[in-house]
Every structure is written in structure tokens, then in C-alpha cells.
Amino acid sequence: MVRIGFVILTWNSEKVIDRCLNSIVKLKQIKPYVVVVDNGSVDNTNTIVDEYSTKYPDAFKLIRYKANRGTTVSRNAGIRALSEFELDYYCILDSDTIISDGAFLKLAHEMNSNPSYGIIGPKMVSSSGVEQMSARAFPTLIEKLYKALPFKSLQKKGEEIERQLPPNEEMESYPVDYLMSACWLIRPQVIHTAGLLDEKLFYAPEDAEYCICVWKSGYQVAFCSSAQITHEWQRLSKKKLISKINYEHIKGLIYMFWKHQYLFSTAKLKKTFNGDK
């Protein structure tokens, strides 16, 4: 049985968290340990999670913050809380996902078959059947400008720059630049080597930045198209043009470009990688 420690963040997530946790307790071939880190919810989120903690005291734990601490601080707290368990993998999972044995056994199989993989993620599809672009090229200033400008042709060009296609259509998994952090299966060794998430980032692009660190540590990031989960994608940065989320996103991009010393192209960045363990 595969032992997986799940880290799930919540923030006023009462509409989605029960479905997520229920899908975890229904797993038959995965032994889950779950840490939910709540970022100051004022709805019934904590009550719902408490019910699972009471029913499954050895498998569920709730960490509560009075205010929103963002994604990196909160996820790191969850990872640290899971360190007491002997785990085969960690999993960063969004609260608006629904998972299954099949998807995670496939991810684990691909990870076992490819020792160079440090993080792997599944195909993510909404309940209405919309597939999300979970595997992406590292962001550059050019791509971000294309997507931000109010011209559909340039926005489409930006999306094409982002897209990561398989080298071979028959491949069940393949390396990509980075994955959206809605569902990451992570080797414990990666956390020991690459470290935890960079807490100088409040929100995005913590996923791209951490994947850069994983690549630099000698592991690859991979996408598995044959494993599929449900994800009701909430694009927080799209809801308001001027918002704290967008401000943090822009600030985070500037920090990432500075930290990893690239801006318009990723060619120089990728020369620092060694993803051949």
C-alpha cells in the first residue's frame, strides 16, 4: 500500500473541501495522512475538517491560522507536520480537487519507473469536462506581456508559448518545465534536496519557482497524461484586475526573475539544470 501525506490549504472552502476529503477517505490502495492548513476561514470550513479529524484521528490534522498566510508558509507548515510519518510520497493538493486510487497509483507507477522524476502531476479536468493547462513552460516577461495585453491574437500567442507538448504522443509521462501546484506528487528526497517552498513568495508563482529549484537540485518535473483527477479551477487572479492577489503575483514574478537571473528567455536558466539522476 502506497503511503502518501497530503497537504491541503483551505480558505473559505466550505463548498469544495468535503468532496475533496471524502475522495481521500474512499481510497482503498493508498494509505493517506492528511494535514489541512486553514488560512483564516470565516465560513464552515473548519467545522467540516474537524468532523474528519474526529472520525479519523490518526489520519487527519488541522492547522489553523487566524489570517491568510498565503501558499508557501502554509504548505511548508503542512509538510513539516507530516514529517513524523514514514511516507512514500508527499502530495500538495488543492481543496477543490477530487482524486482516486487509479490516478495516484498511476502517478506512483510512473515515479517508480523514472528515478529522475522528483515531482509528477496528473491531467486535471473540471466536472464540466474542461481540461486545464497544468503543464507549462517557465514564465518569461515576454509571455506574461502577451497574455496581459488586451489583444486576443497576442493572448493566444502567449498561451502557445506556455504549452508543453509530449516528445512522443504515446508517452504516458514526460518531463515539463513546471506544473500547476493543484496536485503534485513529490518524492521525500526532493524536499530534503531542494528544500521547502520559498516563503518570500506569498502566492504565485510559487509553483514555477519551486519547480526551478527541483530541476536545479537534479530532479525532473513530469506530467502524466494517463492519470486524471477532477479540479474545479478557481482562477483568483482573473477575478479582479486590481487586487492583492494580482499585486502579489506581479511582485512574485519580479522576485523569481531576480532570484534565478533570467527574464526574456529560459535558455540560460536551463543550463543550470541537471535533471538526470
Each residue's pLDDT tens digit, 155-177: 888 889 999 989 888 899 999 99
76-124 residue pLDDT tens: 999 999 999 999 999 999 999 999 999 999 999 999 999 999 999 999 9
Q: How far apart are the first and last CA of the chain?
A: 25
pLDDT band at 275 (very low <50, low <70, confident <90, very high): low
**What percentage of the chain has pLDDT greater than the value 90?**
83
Q: Which of 135, 137, 144, 134 is nearest to 253 (CA)?
A: 144
The residues, ordered by sequence, that sit 6+ positions from 185 with a Cβ below 8 Å of its Cβ are 4, 89, 90, 91, 104, 107, 108, 111, 119, 120, 121
Q: Is the pLDDT of residue 205 over 90?
A: yes
- Give Cα separations from 216 to 68, 149, 197 (angstroms): 30, 32, 14
Q: Which of 183, 212, 177, 174 is nearest to 195 (CA)?
A: 212
CA 15 to chain centre: 20
Peptide bond between residue 205 and the one before it cis (omega within 30 degrees of 0): yes
Q: Which of 133, 142, 141, 134 is nearest to 253 (CA)?
A: 141
Q: H/E element holding 228? A: strand 220-231
Mean residue pLDDT of the chain comes to: 93
Residues 185 and 87 sit within 8 Å (Cβ to Cβ): no
* Span 232-242, average pLDDT: 57
pTM of the model: 0.94
3-31 residue pLDDT tens: 999 999 999 999 999 999 999 999 999 99
